[in-house]
Amino acid sequence: MRKKFDVLVVGSGAGLEVASFAAERGLSVAIVEEGPLGGTCLNRGCIPSKMLIHSSDVLETIKSSEKFGIKSKIEGIDFASIVKRVSEVVDSDSVGIEKSIRENGNPTLYKMRGKFIGPKLMQVGDEQIEGEKVFIVGGTRPSIPPLPGLEITPYLDSTKALRLEKQPEHMVIIGGGYIAAELAHFYGALGTQITILVRGKRMLDKEDEEIADWFTKEFSKKYQILFNAEAEAVSYQDGKFTIKLKGDGNNKIYADQLLVAAGRVPNTDILEVSATGVEMDDKGFIKVNEYLETNVEGVWAFGDILGILPFRHTANDQVGFSISNAFTDKKVAFDPFAIGHAVFSSPQVGGVGKTEQELKKMGIKYKVGREELKNTAMGGALQENGLAKVITDETGKKILGVHIIGPQASILIHEAIVAMKGNGTVDAITQSVYIHPALPEWLQRAFFDIA
């Protein structure tokens, strides 16, 4: 049996916004989602991870109290209750979304795995559903390397790591990106011994190299990081993982938990997007034009499944463009310029725009301004250090990129985002009167340093 809908949305993250828009205007809408409603961000990504990480941030604050003349004592950590609290909040929100959709009747929810069998046609269970307009917002999932022995062990991916009820004594993490950094901070700050296997010479290697090197140095003071290290095989027995490393000799690491944080892959294979005729790149990410249209007429895609700045706030931004381009006569091009990001680890990292290594590769001339937090009044108050780095064009006027490592970097980076989205010049920062001695002075001084 085949059912026809005006709109078919695949994925219940940011795709829900499109579904709601269409349903409110009387269009028949179908949503296909096999997992909990709310998508990756709500259920297994940014929301639960940041809630968990805040507990670790609080613990670090308490542990550092003595340097401010305050003696404190931590009597215990209820790890299970930390995880339970976060899981209950997330699950409640997800259930609430599903209940609301089912009560309204439109959109129609297909809570099961769907597979494309034609350009705008999906098989969902025993039914075939077709959409006049189709939005593929299927997201990504953890990338699991083909490591001998791994699949028959109870290893963790980032999703499972957010729901672990018992705190590990020793966790080995495969990967050196932002997920590895954030989860290492969560578990490590609470007392788990952390060993990180990094294939290269630094963590966060997609950040500006100067920031990545700073982060790597600071993180190495807290946790064991093995560089140029790769796992060759994994085994599990009597509650213990054995991770054999590549190289000469019999180099092995033993731990009671193994977390694989080796990046993410698009769900285009699971959804069998190839059956639609939609073009994808060699990694399986969907190709779209500036209007978020695929090469198949009437099919749009956005979110992580594009591989373009794969953050929830990117997808949220793309919602408006998708709606305008699909449901109105006015086409508006999506522009990824000045979409920032943050790593909620310790230290925090925030970035927006081009990195210095990217500009070198592109052959673009530039200028740099830097300021260390320790040189500011608030740096002395916090007794912490960090680096704010500003990159402009060769005139020293147009902002090309801003990168911060240190306290509240995830907040401070928004100063740069607003400036870049505004007039895009350093004047937005340098000609403003900043409150002294507030933390944002640190970033302003980096702008003043541009020579």
pTM to 2 decimal places? 0.95
Q: Is the pLDDT of residue 44 over 80?
A: yes
Q: What count of Cα atoms within 13 Å lies in the side-chain half-sphere of residue 353?
A: 24
pLDDT digits (tens, 9 = 90+) for 81-116: 999 999 999 999 999 999 999 998 899 999 999 999
Q: Is the pLDDT of residue 153 over 80?
A: yes
> What is the mean predicted confidence (pLDDT) over 177-201?
97
CA 136/CA 210 separation, integer angstroms: 37
Percent of the chain with pLDDT over 70: 100
Class level of CATH domain 2-142+265-327? alpha beta
Kindly give, in sequence order, each residue whose CB lies less than 8 Å from that of residue 119, ignoring residues fewer than 6 positions away.
276, 277, 296, 299
Tell me whether domains 2-142+265-327 and 347-448 share a fold.
Answer: no
Token pair in block for residue 364: 């673009």
CA torsion through residues 228, 359, 413, 83, sign: negative
CATH entry 3.50.50.60 includes domain 150-262:
yes
The pLDDT, as a whole number, for residue 250 is 76
CA 60/CA 222 separation, integer angstroms: 12
pLDDT digits (tens, 9 = 90+) for 408-451: 999 999 999 999 999 889 999 999 999 999 999 999 999 999 97
Sheet of strand 170-174, all strands in order from the earlier edge strand to the far edge? 224-226, 193-197, 170-174, 257-260
CA 11/CA 322 separation, integer angstroms: 14
Considering the domain 347-448 in this protein, what is its CATH number? Answer: 3.30.390.30
Q: In the predicted model, what is the mean pLDDT of the chain?
A: 96
CA torsion through residues 274, 278, 280, 284, sign: negative
pLDDT digits (tens, 9 = 90+) for 301-325: 999 999 999 999 999 999 999 999 9
Q: What count of Cα atoms within 13 Å lies in the side-chain half-sphere of residue 263?
A: 11
The residues assigned a catalytic role are 436
pLDDT digits (tens, 9 = 90+) for 398-414: 999 999 999 999 999 99
For the chain, the structural domain boundaries read: 2-142+265-327, 150-262, 347-448
pLDDT digits (tens, 9 = 90+) for 47-69: 999 999 999 999 999 999 999 99
| SS3 call for 133 | strand
Could you tell me how far CA 264 lies from the centroid of its own chain?
Answer: 10
